Amino acid sequence: MPYRDFTALGSGILFSYPQLATITGVQGVVIYAVTSAGPLMIFAYLGPIIRAKCPEGFVLTEWTRQRYGLITALYLSFLTLVTMFLYMVAELSALQQIMTALTGMDGLPMVIVECAVTTIYTSLGGFKISFITDNVQGVMVIGLIIIATITVGVETKIDKSLIDSSGLTEASLLGWQLLYILPVAVLTNDFFLSNFWIRTFASRSDRDLWIGVSIAAVVTLIILTLVGSTGLIATWSGAFDPNNPDQDGSVAFFYLLEQLPAWTVGIVLVMVVSLSTAAFDSFQSAMVSTASNDLFRNKISIWWIRAAVVAIIFPVVVIALKAPSVLQIYLISDLVSASSIPVLMLGLSDRCYWWRGFEVVVGGLGGLLTVFIFGTIYFGNALDGAKLMLLEQGLYGNDWSAFGAFVAAPVGGLLWGFGALLVRLTYRFVEAKVKGHRFDALDRPPYLDRRVEGASENADEDEINSIPQARLVTVDHKGKFF
């Protein structure tokens, strides 16, 4: 099955991308679009590698369990569930704000209806129904873009004097910072989205995977560039005034819609609701699959898991109604992933066979602690250091705090991971001396002593992967945490 996935394109994109455009201008629009679409290609590259190492798996946590053991797999499952929880919050928060912005009505009833409807049909149809709604979602995204592009082009009048005065065509400090922040944030966070991995493992062949991901990346790039551009157009047309304290850049897209005919707003509203519903059901289905497989190994009734997901929806709705910024929700999730994914991915290389789950968990938690330490030093007090972990200032602090946080998370995670490695090896060395047995913590594990048809005796992973139709003779092994 080709890789076609628009599940990351929920209604939240109508807030986060135009909002960033009103702050960082053309530079931010281009960088955000490229760094959101480009990381999809990682699934085409890593998908075949992980499928070869874990052919029975269908999500990243399956490979993690095989490579690092149960504790690390549960740790990753927890982070995955937290990430999907945050995405569900962001989606409902965006829907509620859209309803209010377009109709002036309270968005809560629509939020409740969406939760009820998606819960019913995902419970009955499972992930298969989610695949169907993804196709609907793709059509709605494309339809939304076409209609909005035509009507905005015909109805909106650009005030050329506002182009230069806005400063949105010039480079900015934040724009340059985004060259680092967004690739790290988006790339690592995509690893936590189980719906991506399920589709990756479900592809019929590696070739289909490459074709599907490439198409998805190009289409996503075009869509996000157009969506982000609405923030620029809203500013240059006068629909959004960045100097007006009563206007918020996160709803720049909807300020622009106010200048369009009423029928356009109605069509956009229908499409946005469909878009939000398709995204939300994917997160629900992915959460059910992750919890059932990773936490309970599919040994309890799926209905208990679905009931738990229904129970989780209540706090999701409550938090969504209070969430101040859709983009901030995404950034919190990004910071968690930036701390954990680099130390996890070291285990993909057979040369790092000495890397254990202990290092992954300590490194991931240590990365978040490093963000707190950096924030405390940068701001001079522990309270602001703690707030930096939640990125309360978003990306708009006009300083180096957000940039520093996204440097501290992966770098700190790796440093804590290697520190944990040193501690573990020291412990194992002392243990070997005390008990009088050989120190074997750095021995090559048995599962790597395998014979591959056409490979040399001590072939590494690169050599094995370069051999067409390489056949593994022995691959059975269990991961170790310590």
pLDDT tens by residue, 201-241: 777 788 888 888 888 888 888 888 988 999 999 999 988 88
Q: Is the pLDDT of residue 457 over 50?
A: no
pLDDT reported for residue 434: 92
12-21, 356-365, 392-401, 403-412: which has the minimum mean pLDDT?
A: 392-401
pLDDT tens digits for range 403-436: 999 999 999 999 999 999 999 999 999 999 998 8
Q: DSSP characters for 351-411?
A: GGTT--HHHHHHHHHHHHHHHHHHHHHHHSSHHHHHHHHTTTTTT-SSSSHHHHHHHHHHH
pLDDT reported for residue 2: 32
Which residues are CB-contacts of 107 (< 8 A; sequence separation ≥ 6)?
95, 96, 97, 98, 99, 100
pLDDT reported for residue 397: 63
Buried b (16+ CB within 10 A) or exposed e, 57-77: bbbbbbbbbbbbbebbbbbbb
| 13-322 CATH | 1.20.1730.10
Report the distance separating Cα 235 and Cα 217, nearest Å. 28
Q: Supply the mean pLDDT for the chain.
A: 81
3-state DSSP assignment of residue 452: strand
Mean pLDDT calculated for residue range 152-175: 86
pLDDT bracket for residue 471 (50, 70, 90): very low
pLDDT reported for residue 456: 41
pLDDT bracket for residue 462 (50, 70, 90): low
Is the separation of the CB atoms in 13 and 227 below 8 Å? yes
Is the separation of the CB atoms in 439 and 432 below 8 Å? yes
**By C-alpha distance, which of 346, 405, 364 is closest to 80?**
364
6-15, 75-84, 112-121, 343-352: which has the minimum mean pLDDT?
A: 6-15
Is the separation of the CB atoms in 335 and 391 below 8 Å? yes
Backbone angles phi, psi at 193, to 5 degrees: -90, 100
pLDDT reported for residue 453: 45
pLDDT reported for residue 454: 44
pLDDT reported for residue 472: 45
Report the distance separating Cα 85 and Cα 196, nearest Å. 16
**By C-alpha distance, which of 456, 458, 433, 431 is closest to 444?**
458
**By C-alpha distance, which of 4, 369, 47 is closest to 212?**
4
Which residues are CB-contacts of 288 (< 8 A; sequence separation ≥ 6)?
122, 126, 302, 305, 306, 309
Domain regions of the chain by residue span: 13-322, 334-443, 449-482
Computed from CA positions of residues 31, 33, 35, 38, in that sequence, does the dihedral angle turn out positive or negative?
Answer: negative
Top pLDDT among 471 and 161 is at 161
| Most confident among 290-304, 322-336, 337-351 (mean pLDDT) | 337-351
| Residue 300 DSSP class | S
pLDDT reported for residue 3: 35
Q: Could you identify the residue written with the tokens 């790092």? A: 352
| Most confident among 145-149, 283-287, 379-383, 416-420 (mean pLDDT) | 416-420
| Most confident among 11-15, 200-204, 320-324, 383-387 (mean pLDDT) | 383-387
Q: Could you identify the residue written with the tokens 């109805």? A: 155
Q: How far is CA 479 from CA 357, 370, 417, in A?
A: 8, 27, 17
